[in-house]
Chains A and B, each alone.
Chain A
Amino acid sequence: MRRPLRRLAFGLVAAACAAPGSPRAQELVADLSRHLVAITTGFVGTDVLLFGATDGEGDVIVVVRGPRRPTVVRHRTRMAGIWVNDAELTFVNAPAFYWMASSRPLDRVLPAVAMERHRIGIRHLALRPDRAVDEDTLESFRDALVRNKTRIGLYGEQLGSIAFLGNRLFRTTVYFPANVPTGTYTVAVFLVRQGRVVSAQTTPLLVSKVGLGAEISRFAHERSILYGIMAIAMALLAGWLAGAVFRKA
């Protein structure tokens, strides 16, 4: 968590220094329509609107990143006719969610070196394995992680999806699917001119279970003994109730 932030701060400072004559209007302002994605009982996924303005021409890149979590990738192989897991690799810092959008295709906006530096784009994600493996293995597990995450809608790139209104105002929507992991997200917006990031801004976004579901989940993890007893009590009661009701009917 710490290193990219520092990197980002670095970028900000660099951008600020690069702009001579400081008492100018802010180069980039952006905000979200809301800063909390509430997972309620009826949650089926949701859109969050991101909007902002620049002080002139330029391209905008948005990166939404979920909390980092150790993620296991397993490889399956056929053994005696059935598919079993044979090898696995854990990425200790894989973002649980990663989504990127830009106002134009990236290769026309930013050179690869800059994307690498700012960790923009799925190809430039810093994914650290928990043990040393050779390059090919790492590559295939890494691709597999991205492929699987993309299939379940947790990783994605939408190049050219940020719409400009005039050449100053921009907007895009970020979709959080029903299976979105909970935690603190960061939404980073980059302003790019002539192949360089000239300004950046990050905004936090909280994805959290709220209401009854949140209570149940917290209860299950924090008071697991009591939770187990209550689950059984509920089942006993329900069974007895059903028996009693249908006996009369």
Chain B
Amino acid sequence: MQIYLPIAEISLNVLLLLGLGGLVGFLSGLFGVGGGFLMTPLLIFNGVPPAVAVATEANQVVAASVSGVLAHMRRGNVDFKMGGVLLLGGLAGSGFGVWLYSMLRAVGQLDIVISLAYVVFLGVIGSLMVVESVRAILRRRQPGAPRRKLHQHTWLHGLPFKMRFRKSKLYISALLPLTIGCLVGILSAIMGVGGGFIMVPAMIYLLGMPTLTVIGTSLFQIIFVTANVTFLQAVENQTVDVVLALILLTGGVVGAQLGSRFAGRFPGEQLRFLLALVVLGVAAGIVVSLVATPEDLYILGRESVG
């Protein structure tokens, strides 16, 4: 059953889109990330113009994050103060990111920058996660291992503007979450992702937040950042396809609920290891598409007049 997407201006199979939404939703429910980093490349592979894929995905992540955050709020796993600081940075970053996006699009290098950004971030984060989760799995197998400290103290903890985050049991400089929020905001605008796959490891490893509050807090601030990206993309580039977003999120919410039920049955380290493999797999796929000799050395750009 084909449906014509009014902004993407192509026809795609509804069942395919629902399936994609469901699959990515399942993974995101399982791992506690938005899933945008998987969905955007998948949409582009299926012929959705990159600009529309990025902007629409931001819109879909809003919905996915809302339903996720509600579940985490009920369990008291959201650090609103930390979320607020991350958000301040995130809004600034996403504003800058949308501007950067329009500029790159005008210069004609947008697709390549998006792809490279994906490769770099997915590659680095995937590798770090593999290393970390394998270590954690090995540590579990040695019962006599000493208990770790809550987090390591580094020079990052010596920065000024210290704030106390009770829920996360942290006393750190506000500059740290502000910077992380800002960087993720930029990526969110350019890559059409909520940024969970970067935010979650950054909060665990850089901020030293307890894993339990990380996912809820990250989802909380992602709602606002992706809402901001959706709005700015809609106004600047008119590339948000609500029909596409609605179909994807219908599949997505069902998948996410199934995924989160599944998540309880696996130990955290193994889940992180699996997620790392998925992340590296997507990165490898994009590398192949960048390196492989294209069918035609010439391509058509998007028509500059809509």
Contacts and interface: CB of A to CB of B under 8 A. Distances in A.
Nearest to A147: B296
B300 A72 contact: yes
Contacts of B15: none
A243 B250 CA distance: 12
Interface stretch (B140-148, B176-184, B207-215, B234-242): B234-242
A203 interface: no
B192 to A, nearest CB: 14
Interface stretch (A7-15, A168-176, A193-201, A231-239): A231-239
Interface in B102-127: 108-109, 112, 116
Contacts of A229: 231
Contacts of A243: 66-67, 70-71
Nearest to B227: A232
A70 interface: yes
A77 B240 CA distance: 31
A181 B302 CA distance: 12
A167 interface: no
Contacts of B3: 41-42
Give chain A's interface residue range (CB within 8 Å of chain B). Answer: 35 or more
B189 to A, nearest CB: 14
A39 interface: yes
Interface stretch (B6-14, B79-87, B130-138): B6-14
B249 A238 contact: yes
Contacts of A147: 296, 298
Nearest to A141: B298
Given A42-B4, A221-B306, A242 B257 contact: yes
Contact of B298 (A75, A224, A225): A75
B300 A145 contact: yes
Nearest to A215: B6
Contact of A73 (B2, B109, B242, B299): B299
Contacts of B296: 144, 147-148, 151
A235 B59 contact: yes
Interface in B180-235: 223, 227, 230-235
Contacts of B245: 231, 234-235
Interface string B23-64: 000000000000000000000000000000000000110111
Contacts, number: 194
A179 interface: yes
Interface string B235-262: 1001010110110011001101100000
Contact of A44 (B2, B235, B299, B304): B2
A102 to B, nearest CB: 26
Q: What's the dominant secondary structure at chain B's contact region?
A: helix
A84 B6 CA distance: 29
A235 B60 contact: yes
Interface residues of B, number: 58
B11 A178 contact: yes
Given A40-B4, A213-B4, A246-B257, A234 B246 contact: yes
Contacts of A236: 62-63, 66, 223, 227
A42 B14 CA distance: 10
Given A84-B109, A179-B10, A216-B6, A235 B63 contact: yes
B168 interface: no
A84 B112 contact: yes
A226 to B, nearest CB: 9
A149 interface: yes
Contacts of B66: 235-236, 238-240, 243
B150 interface: no
Contacts of B242: 216, 220, 227, 230-231, 234
Given A72-B300, A216-B243, A231-B245, 8 more contacts: A70-B304, A76-B298, A85-B112, A147-B296, A149-B300, A229-B231, A231-B240, A235-B227
9 contacts: A81-B291, A82-B291, A88-B108, A141-B298, A225-B234, A231-B242, A232-B59, A239-B63, A242-B256
Which 3 residue pairs across A and B have the least CB separation, nearest first? Answer: A239-B66, A228-B234, A72-B301
Interface of A: 39-45, 69-78, 81-85, 88, 90, 96, 140-141, 144-145, 147-149, 151, 178-179, 181, 209, 212-214, 216-217, 220-221, 224-225, 227-232, 234-236, 238-240, 242-244, 246-247
